[in-house]
Structure 1
């Protein structure tokens, strides 16, 4: 079975879902070596980095394992724990509480590990967020989460990256619902700019405490809004 190109939104999650379906559907039995990144990228119509993150997510789910110098092999046809389903079914406030625990410490770690490439990616993500005044709510939420993903990527910890990738679809839907329900962009089309700027600057400056503080304040504010909306 040859997979068609994916749509441009949420590419990592879509790639993860497509590869998971191919494994559970029996295309790649246990013990099978998966095609290389280039081949999978061509089949899915995405970049190699997207394929790499999707494979990391599948590894985190216990379905594939990379063997040094040998490639990536299927080790299970079902996730060891159906984490994605649990996330989809969880209350967004519960998801957000876990996100805070994970992402605040990730920001602290990112400040100590960021590279020049990370700095460039963070600045670009912040610029995109600042320039998103004319974006739809869905586009703005995706741009906002992309900035947070850039912070997590700067940790250079593949498990953290995979965990955040799993959270992303639930976060996107919860934040989109919140923006629409409360009209958060009616007065300011790019809300939270000061907090996100402080976060990015702290990570770039290597100030771990300031990075954790800036992100913690921003996430606590959003969580308070989510709790109020859920009442």
Structure 2
């Protein structure tokens, strides 16, 4: 009983850290030894607590990479499950509405930190997506994460917290959507992603909105893209 109580306490502590934004969606949480030091508990306790949050849908283990935050609360998980069951057309129409508006707002509101982040994430995303024949699940997951990180960074740059919270609830569905398709050069649309980020960085809201719309329509027409 004491052990279960301790696991529950650590689970609640980690859940609170996620809810407070210590680890954002897409972030890798600390390693087990680091979590042991942080919580003052044994490795088995930490492992059980993390597994509990994996079952709850807040965390995801990625073989050879670590454990990542995929949602910030259980309500977000439920909403994500709803989106995951949505039709492809419905999801893409919703994503277009969100991404285009976010791109326009990001071009108007991005700051120096946003610009630096977008440049770094775009460079990493494009480099990864040039790989041919990506079959390894861990590598595939890495490419998908890099792609979604660029799109999410644009929403972050909009500096609209409601948009960001809603977009984060879409991420599990978007990840599953991309995971069912191919990744790599054929579905990369590198030029489209580069045009979008460049317009946001340049502060050209009209060009950013059009670039987002053009890119998403290409992605919708090509099921092997992310």
TM-score by length of 1: 0.62
**Map of 2:118 onto structure 1:** 122
Cα distance in structure 1, aligned partners of 2:222 and 2:105: 27
- Mapped contact 1:13–1:169 kept (Cα < 8 A): no
Deviation at 1:138, TM superposition (A): 2.3
The one of 85, 89, 104 equivalent to 1:108 is 104
Question: Deviation per CA, 1:100-125, whole angstroms, max 9, x where unpaired?
Answer: 01110110000000000000000001
Deviation at 1:177, TM superposition (A): 1.1
Question: 5 Å matches for 1:5-20?
Answer: 11=26, 18=53
- Mapped contact 2:26–2:145 kept (Cα < 8 A): no
Cα distance in structure 2, aligned partners of 1:87 and 1:140: 21
Q: Find out whether 1:203 has 2:200 as its counterpart.
A: yes
Cα distance in structure 2, aligned partners of 1:137 and 1:85: 21
Question: 5 Å matches for 1:20-35?
Answer: none
Cα distance in structure 1, aligned partners of 2:221 and 2:28: 27
- Any stretches of 5+ residues in structure 1 without a counterpart? 23-44, 59-77
Q: Structure 1 residues 20 and 208 mapped into 2: Cα distance closer, same or farther (>3 Å)?
A: farther
Deviation at 1:153, TM superposition (A): 0.2
Deviation at 1:141, TM superposition (A): 1.5
Q: Find out whether 1:214 has 2:217 as its counterpart.
A: no
The one of 171, 194, 201 equivalent to 2:191 is 194
Structure 2 SS opposite 1:131 = helix
TM-score by length of 2: 0.64
Structure with the largest fraction of helix: 2
- Mapped contact 2:92–2:220 kept (Cα < 8 A): yes
- Mapped contact 2:80–2:171 kept (Cα < 8 A): no
4+ residue runs over 3 A deviation: 8-15, 17-22, 78-82
Q: Structure 1 residues 13 and 173 mapped into 2: Cα distance closer, same or farther (>3 Å)?
A: farther
Q: Structure 1 residues 204 and 9 mapped into 2: Cα distance closer, same or farther (>3 Å)?
A: closer
- Mapped contact 2:25–2:168 kept (Cα < 8 A): no
- Any stretches of 5+ residues in structure 2 without a counterpart? 1-7, 16-22, 30-49, 58-65
RMSD between aligned residues: 4.0
**Map of 1:159 onto structure 2:** 162
